[in-house]
Chain A
């Protein structure tokens, strides 16, 4: 079991992802999985600011929508080639994130969350009302599929699946590099106690801003992929319930771990698929699950398991469950320097 969170575990996941089109019984399954990958990519980004840096951002789906609309508007209204628009989707989200972060990250804790909740609403309302730019409630239809790159054409569900999968793997790999670097530890130090971090000479504002921009860059790119994959857009994408969904993915798996949010983002949509009869009412089940997780398993499934393993290896007593959310990953960072990061 212990090897599953190390390199072999990741290779297994990679192999499963590559082989999935052969398991999938129909194109619909491929579509469900690809959509899950897109939201997983955004969740991996959200986890950097919320899970690793400790700033509970509620505007993430807004940034995703900004990326998506960048692609939608540029390709449909201005005939920009898909890949150029896609590259710009990450850029617009990041530039916007810079300005929003500049104001919001000066606020601490709850203030930051409420501020970003409001920012999310502003984004939603602007997308809904600014018909000249965003087509308003009608939405953008007829977004072109990703154009072929050399011999690679993205004209079938299977090729689109691999395209999305490629970006998810790339995104997770880059995130792994970030969170295991000095920069990633700086972020975690801020999460675990910003006054202590500041006293160690960490520039809080600059690092929080960097984490925020990296995080919304992921959201922007995920949005860009979404536009190219689903090929129509409406203001609903910016809705705060998508941020709530992503928060749930993170929490189910474990905030501040790399594997947890990823597994959450891949597992929960399938759960929703198999609980089809719930449809719109899925939150009747998921709401209490969220509450129970927070109360009884605050570190999520992967986080709790990692914490348990780290403690067993270190032979120390279990810390209180109300310790800062860092629990498992701090232990992990402490006991496995430079080791594989789950």
Chain B
């Protein structure tokens, strides 16, 4: 039973991180209808900026997270302005390829600055709590609390504020939104900034129990794509539910099936589900 609860804890940790990454991806997809392959590079950049701020400037963990969120938000906004905005009317293939261009650039850039080595990020929270037989590293509890707290804040922002509603409105109908006077440019930039900040926070939360290296975004972003397909592309609740599904599938799969193949579980799930339901689990129709 304790081992089972241990997996629940692991599932929540992974699920929280995946959901945060997938949320940014799904928001951008909702606005642009482009799968932003560069999102994984935003995630990687977030981890490196935090790492750098802590190591070179002695920032504290939370301050570094804030700084990296701001920094990646700027990178994401620049990507929107310089690359996706000029391509907003282009056919499906080209924005995807451009996103790959950004991904390659950021990864090579990180490698040029920080090298190809693996780095370990320090965290002030190294303790381990004993919750009635379940051992929980404090960092994991922190990830769960922060990730789900952030999701609640984001949900409130999207549902309760005017700015948030403009994002939802534009995701639902771009033309309609501009008819009622919503500035599409501003909303697109804001969405990219939020998505970049979410990726940076997720990366900074997860990095202490993982490692920091230039290709660290690959697997996470690919799983985030699986999640938004599961949850319905462009759907915010879908991204959260999908993130939890993949998080749990992975932690239980690693425990009951095989650690070696845990990374394949998410993809195998996707292949299985799309074979049965090509439009995803929760979507009404494929885009």
Q: Which residues of A contact B (CB under 8 A)?
A: 50, 54, 56, 103-104, 106-111, 113-115, 117-119, 121-122, 125-126, 129, 240-241, 244, 247, 251, 255, 280-284, 286-291, 294-295, 298, 322-325
Contacts and interface: CB of A to CB of B under 8 A. Distances in A.
A298 B229 contact: no
Q: Which of A50, A109, A111 has the most CB of B within 10 A?
A: A111
Contact of A107 (B89, B95, B260, B278): B278
Contact of A110 (B82, B104, B222, B287): B287
A103 B105 contact: no
29 contacts: A56-B93, A103-B274, A106-B274, A107-B274, A107-B286, A108-B287, A109-B92, A110-B33, A115-B274, A118-B267, A118-B271, A119-B271, A129-B261, A129-B264, A247-B100, A280-B108, A280-B111, A283-B107, A283-B108, A286-B104, A287-B106, A288-B105, A290-B100, A291-B98, A294-B94, A295-B87, A323-B91, A324-B91, A325-B94
B15 to A, nearest CB: 18
B87 A280 contact: no
B169 interface: no
A284 B270 contact: no
Given A291-B98, A324-B91, A284 B105 contact: yes
Interface in B207-251: 218-219, 222, 225-226, 229, 233
Q: Which of B89, B219, B286 has the most CB of A within 10 A?
A: B286
A282 B95 CA distance: 21
A295 B86 contact: yes
A280 B215 CA distance: 13
Contact size range, B = 35 or more
B267 A108 contact: no
Contacts, number: 135
Nearest to A282: B108
Interface in B68-115: 82-83, 86-87, 89-98, 100-109, 111-112
A251 B93 CA distance: 11
A119 B260 CA distance: 17
B278 A244 contact: no
B96 A108 contact: no
Given A107-B278, A294-B98, A118 B87 contact: no
A76 B103 CA distance: 37
Chain A to chain B: the 8 pairs with minimum beta-carbon distance, closest first: A287-B105, A290-B101, A283-B108, A283-B104, A287-B104, A291-B101, A284-B108, A294-B98
B229 A111 contact: yes
A8 B277 CA distance: 51
Tell me whether chain B's interface is mostly helix, strand or loop, or mixed: helix
Tell me whether chain A's interface is mostly helix, strand or loop, or mixed: helix
Given A125-B261, A244-B100, A295-B87, A118 B105 contact: no
B216 to A, nearest CB: 14
B5 interface: no
Nearest to A114: B225
Given A110-B233, A244-B100, A325 B83 contact: no
Contacts of B229: 111, 114-115
A323 B270 CA distance: 33
B63 interface: no
B263 A125 contact: yes
Q: Which of B97, B116, B267, B274 has the most CB of A within 10 A?
A: B97
Q: Which of A50, A126, A289, A298 has the most CB of B within 10 A?
A: A298
Nearest to A244: B100
B142 interface: no
A151 to B, nearest CB: 46
A54 B91 CA distance: 10
B274 to A, nearest CB: 6
A284 B101 CA distance: 9
A107 B225 CA distance: 14
B164 interface: no
A111 B274 CA distance: 10
Contacts of B225: 114, 117-118
Contacts of B145: none
A117 B98 contact: no
B268 interface: yes
Contact of A284 (B83, B95, B109): B109
Contacts of A125: 261, 263-264, 267
Given A284-B109, A325-B94, 19 more contacts: A56-B97, A107-B278, A108-B286, A110-B34, A111-B229, A117-B225, A121-B219, A122-B268, A125-B261, A125-B267, A280-B111, A281-B111, A283-B104, A283-B107, A286-B101, A287-B101, A294-B87, A294-B98, A298-B94
Contact of B278 (A106, A281, A324): A106
Contacts of A109: 92, 287
Contacts of B87: 294-295
A118 B222 CA distance: 7
B90 A298 contact: yes
A291 B105 CA distance: 10
